[in-house]
Chain A
Amino acid sequence: MAECHPVGFQWVMEAKERGATVIHVDPRFTRTSAMADLHVPIRAGTDIAFLGGIVRHIIENNRYFRDYVVQYTNAPVIVDEEFRDTEDLDGLFSGWDSEQGGYRVKSWQYRNAPVEGSAGDVEMVHEQGQGQAGEGQSSQPSFAEERDETLEDPRCIFQITRRHFSRYTPEMVEEICGIPKEMFLKVAEALCDNSGRERTSAFVYSVGWTQHSKGAQYIRTASIIQLLLGNIGRPGGGIMALRGHASIQGSTDIPTLYDLLPGYMSMPKAKHDQTFAKYLENNTGASGWWTELPKYITSTLKAWFGRAAGPGNDFCYGYLPRTSGDHSHMTTVADMADGNLTGYFVLGQNPSVGSVHGALQRKGLRELQWLVIRDFAPNETAEFWKDAPEIRRGEVRPEDIATEVFFFPAAAHTEKDGSFTNTQRLVQWHWKAVEPPGDCRSDLWFMYHLGLRLKALYADSLESRDLPIKNLTWEYPTEGEHQEPNADAVLAEIHGFTVEDGEPVSGYLDLKDDGSTACGCWLYSGIFKGGVNQAARRKPGSQQSWVAPEWAWAWPSNRRIMYNRASADPEGNPWSDRKKYVWWDAEQGKWTGEDVPDFIEDRPPSYRPKRGARGLDTISGIDPFIRQADGKGWIYVPSGLMDGPLPTHYEPQESVLENPLYGQQCNPARFEYERKDNPYHRAHDDPRFPYVITTYRLTEHHTAGGMSRWLSWLSELMPEMFCEVSPELAEERGLHNGEWATITTARAEIEARVLVTRRIRPLRMGKGGKRLVHQIGLPYHWGSKGLVTGDAANELVSMLADPNVSIQETKALTGTIAPGRRSRMRRVVTSGPLVEELPEGSGAPRDLPAVGARPRGKHGLEAPKEKEGEQA
């Protein structure tokens, strides 16, 4: 956190000053570790085992916050008899479809009460043709589940969880993660001691946890710990996802993601959501907050299609594009490489350096007809056709590449108005400081004027397929010489207004499903309350309460802590005076406190929904997690995840160890890209690749380097690509500090300067601590352009995706290292195999025989067989 979020880290330092214990779990000793009370080095890719060990510790030692667990989580709920745990099936859950690959979630359901996932992702299950759980659910509000509040029923979630983690002992943690037992116990005890009525603990994570083939389940494990300890919805608690680019949170909320509409509403699916009615049926919650979906989607459609949208034409629902499968980044690029795409927009991204398997990325770009790129300087992606390893090697010739590249210079954030949504959902406005130089224009300008040109182009069209463009509302006031659209106007539209008079609504509670309101994103409704840009508020903390509600604006409805109903006990009183935050004021008959209560304002703690209740009435007075279908924190996830209701330790796709817990080595639901140009190493103990590699960032650079390698003041701070190794590994491989090394995987070979450091320790693990595991650290900021250049770490990494969010496994892979500048810049995509291939089948399998087929070909488009993964 000190490395990548140094400004946010000041609060950690402040907490430390006030007596907080800071624990840092990281394979490397970083700037964060330097400030921590305790640094726990871990083998990359094994945190579920570590966190699972903590879950077990909490349960076995009765350290959980019983009242919270019983009332606010789904721990007491009884699960369907059909459910089988990984303990029973050697690493698989029940419901695996060995023919199509992937889980069917039916057996994971609550007994007699199937539920849907949260946050509009219910139909993710449908997508896989496994929607049994979701279908017809609307008739079955989920509060009907059976419960055992003694937590003793063997089929209640608490007991299932206990059994699931029963073998995650401190010894097992040591064996898998390389964390000494005493150190593990220190962490577990520190957490338990610092949780309960009087105290809370927080987790902070970022991509060290997400970039794994089971990334989403890492976070799930932390969620279980926090729910068991009662650390959610309370001040000082929570799980904070430190985000990446300045407004990456904003581009999740109003998404750049292919499968979501603004405010976490689902993108319509071609197969399932043919009509608006179907869409609403499939996506509206039966209980909880998502019962409001029709209001939100209708208002969004009204905002987009204005007068054209009405009840008579399903509010132009038909204009929305449909997803036909997986359109995630890696899948799209793989498809591109097979010649199935014609054009590509790269807006503020540098995939040739920043995305995995750079050579395959560039192969994709070579197959395009056109590429549009908007950035500050022509980066490695813009110049993939003339400056790349395969071109320097002569394997690809620029004259053979037909892709037409359009480069547009972009304005920087200092050169335009706009907003940043940060890690705590705080939307902060920023103002233009200087005019963008030359031809640089803001992205808003680009999109707006592109839209205008498209509208002009289709103005005379009589084709109905062009109606979405013709009917799109596209009226924003512009200003200045270059007709820059007014960003405030966009924000006002996002906030929403009453169609009749154009007056701003007061928040999402005002939204209607009859077309009388328009709102760009329901979740952000409130941000332009009273016609005032709330994100632009800058009242200093010293002039307001400690929660500082008047600094900028947070979604939803300016709440600073989500689910803060949980900061009070079931009766509505604070759990403790020390930790009081939001409570029930019986006299006034409403929730009140330091923050905006994240609850229905006047719903008394004693309220219980009646049978057959609908909509928001399904939320009981003790359901703090109002955006979950059952209002509870989910220790066990009956639906919504592709790889199991409980997190399970699987080894990374490429590992140094056989999974000590299960016969199933890897996440069975992981998404592999089986292509000749994307070879994987052996599942474990690959003699050619004996070391763990992890990749990461440095404070001095930013991601793929577009914002740092072109700037001398940053470049001089970290002028060259380097690798970090322990003195022990240096000794073993003959590496010397300051000299060069070559790092190789089956995908590529790169070179880097060597930084030998005691900040990296070899870890003892395996049975009886017999294995000494070395880890190699690689920052991934360099490429061939800019003021400082170097090899890109991502050339080494394979394409492989987590099944839930399609994230790549960049944090844990294997490889090897040798002294010297031996790299010949070979890339498997263009140079053929780099390493001697091992006999087919000589490595251990990643999957149990029972797995049979695994998910594949999620993308709607089929590659011509002869082109797939061909060697150039």
Chain B
Amino acid sequence: MTDPGANGDRRHIHPESGILSGGASEQRVQRPEPDAPTEPWTELPTANLDDPTYYDRPLLKEAVWISAVPVYFWAGGASGAAATLAAVAQIADRDGLDGLIKRARWVAAAGGAAGTALLIVDLGKPSRFANMLRVFRPSSPMSVGSWVLAGAAPLAAGSAVLHDAGALGGVADAAGLAIGVLGMPLAGYTSVLLSNTAVPLWQEVRRTLPALFLSSAVISAASVLQMFDLDERELDIVRRYGTAGKVADLVASQAVRRNASRIHQVGSPLHAGLSGALWKASEALIAASLALSMVPGNRGRGRRVVEGLLGTAGSLAMRFAVFHAGKASSRDPRATFRHQRGGHGGTEATGRAAVTGPEDLRAVATRDERTPGRTAVS
């Protein structure tokens, strides 16, 4: 590789002979972005028709998001679950649970602020977040979520800041109730956001993932709250909230995995690789946190912190596991092929079969009789 081009942008348009005005002229280019594999294909380049892929090249584009995004999932979850808890507590016993409410509002506010910041980090600059609110598009969970976040984050901040503001306490309480409602989608929409993609794993677990994300949100909120100095009653509430979350999480994670693994290739990232390891770690951490919370005896701060950290780590690990599993799923063309051949593609959504090949090779999950050895799906 030598000279990157006349204007250094790999377009090879000599400034004297042409102006940049084409459909991609605004594309800023510094480095080449090879979509091609860095290592050449070293097998015989002949398609294997028993299990066809295109040189094992990914069919889908992997999510371009950075790690800020799973952290955002976590922060948004914590924020939402804390907000909901605060609202319920507010309704049940505004004064008796004031300490809990205040801290939960702060957690919700911090989660909302951190979430917004994380999104901006992912997008690159703040103005880009503003673009999210250009339109409201119900078909896009990201659009819905952005509006929820845009509503919830300032309300949560308000409810927290104004919590002790005397005269304005009423405003804070109103905001507290509002975020209690918004907290539910805030904690859960990210699961829909992931499911509403072409990534076979994410799409496949659309019915089970919300439960996991919300349980995990509860764990996240409870784990953080747990580490504060709360009174006994409040601590009990938080612990019960957390325990419910952990139990639900462990059940939901089984459900998600079973859901995904109905088609082996789809579920495999939850079993193997980085995402599989994170997944297992998450389950172990949550289980450990749960077990620790079950051990009777001293409820001192130290133990609460350990429990909380385990829960936090567990819920974070789950977000990363799901995130990376989705990326792995996008990279694996067979995941998509088998998912759809297994009847989980458009057919499932519409109840009508697509034309999926030459007349005699259309079969979904059957062997083709005409040409022995050519299998529609293996």
Query: A interface vs B, CB < 8 Å?
Result: 434, 437-438, 711-713, 727, 736-739, 753, 755-758, 786-789
Contact = CB atoms under 8 A, between A and B. Distances in A.
Interface stretch (B37-45, B71-79, B348-356): B37-45
Contact of B12 (A711, A736, A789): A711
B16 A738 contact: no
B174 to A, nearest CB: 60
Contact of B45 (A711, A712, A737, A753): A737
B17 A434 contact: yes
Interface in B1-23: 1-3, 5, 10-12, 14, 16-18
A437 B42 contact: no
B46 interface: yes
A737 B16 contact: no
A789 B3 CA distance: 12
B16 A438 contact: yes
B42 A739 contact: yes
7 contacts: A712-B5, A712-B10, A712-B12, A756-B45, A758-B44, A787-B3, A789-B2
Contacts of A438: 16
A28 B48 CA distance: 22
A737 B12 contact: no
B290 to A, nearest CB: 50
Given A437-B17, A737-B41, A758 B12 contact: no
Nearest to A710: B12
A711 B17 CA distance: 14
Given A738-B40, A753-B40, A713 B12 contact: yes
B241 to A, nearest CB: 56
B1 A787 contact: yes
Contacts of A786: 2
Nearest 7 CB-CB pairs, A to B? A738-B40, A437-B16, A738-B42, A712-B12, A437-B17, A737-B42, A756-B44
A727 B44 CA distance: 7
Nearest to B43: A737
A853 B179 CA distance: 103
A753 B40 CA distance: 10
B164 to A, nearest CB: 63
A736 B10 CA distance: 32
A434 B19 CA distance: 12
Nearest to A739: B42
A434 B44 CA distance: 46
A737 B40 contact: yes
Interface residues of B, number: 19
A786 B1 CA distance: 9
A820 to B, nearest CB: 14
Contacts of B11: 712
B44 A737 contact: yes
Nearest to A714: B12
A739 B40 CA distance: 8
Contacts of A737: 40-45
Contacts of B5: 712
Given A437-B16, A712-B10, A757 B45 contact: yes
Nearest to B5: A712
A115 B266 CA distance: 80
Nearest to A434: B17
A704 B17 CA distance: 24
A211 B1 CA distance: 33
A437 B44 contact: no
A739 B44 CA distance: 12
Given A434-B17, A437-B16, A736 B2 contact: no
Nearest to A738: B40
A738 B41 contact: yes
Given A738-B40, A787-B1, A787-B2, A755 B45 contact: yes
Which among B10, B40, B43, B46 has the highest number of chain A CB atoms within 10 Å?
A: B40
Interface string B29-64: 000000000011111111000000000000000000
A739 B39 CA distance: 10
A787 B6 CA distance: 12
Given A737-B43, A738-B41, A758-B44, 6 more contacts: A712-B5, A737-B44, A737-B45, A739-B40, A755-B45, A758-B46
A712 B29 CA distance: 14
Nearest to A789: B2
Contacts of B16: 437-438
Contacts of A758: 44, 46
A758 B44 CA distance: 8
A711 B11 CA distance: 9
Nearest to B3: A787
Which among B1, B17, B18 has the highest number of chain A CB atoms within 10 Å?
A: B17
Contacts of A739: 40, 42
A688 B327 CA distance: 52
Nearest to A736: B42
Nearest to A433: B17
A322 B5 CA distance: 47
A438 B39 CA distance: 41
A786 B17 CA distance: 20
Contacts of B45: 737, 755-757
A786 B3 CA distance: 8
Contacts of A757: 44-46
Contacts of B14: 437
Contacts of A756: 44-45
Contacts of A738: 39-42
Contacts of A753: 40
Contacts of A434: 17-18
A757 B43 CA distance: 10
B113 to A, nearest CB: 45
A438 B14 CA distance: 11
Nearest to A755: B45
B262 to A, nearest CB: 36
B130 to A, nearest CB: 36
Which among A713, A737, A757 has the highest number of chain B CB atoms within 10 Å?
A: A737
Contacts of B12: 711-713
Contacts of B41: 737-738
Contacts of A736: 42
Interface string B208-250: 0000000000000000000000000000000000000000000
Nearest to B15: A437
A433 to B, nearest CB: 10
Contacts of B18: 434
Nearest to B39: A738
Nearest to A720: B40
A739 B2 CA distance: 22
Contacts of B43: 737
A15 B298 CA distance: 90
A788 B43 CA distance: 24
A393 B46 CA distance: 39
Which among B2, B5, B11, B39 has the highest number of chain A CB atoms within 10 Å?
A: B2
Contacts of A437: 14, 16-17
B375 to A, nearest CB: 21
A713 B13 CA distance: 11
Nearest to A722: B40
A437 B17 CA distance: 7
A437 B3 CA distance: 19
A737 B43 CA distance: 6
Contacts of A788: 1
A320 B11 CA distance: 48
A535 to B, nearest CB: 26
A713 B24 CA distance: 14
A699 B39 CA distance: 24
A438 B46 CA distance: 48
A721 B18 CA distance: 31
B57 to A, nearest CB: 14
Nearest to B12: A712
Contacts of B46: 757-758
A28 to B, nearest CB: 14
A787 B2 CA distance: 6
A788 B12 CA distance: 14
A310 to B, nearest CB: 48
A712 B18 CA distance: 16
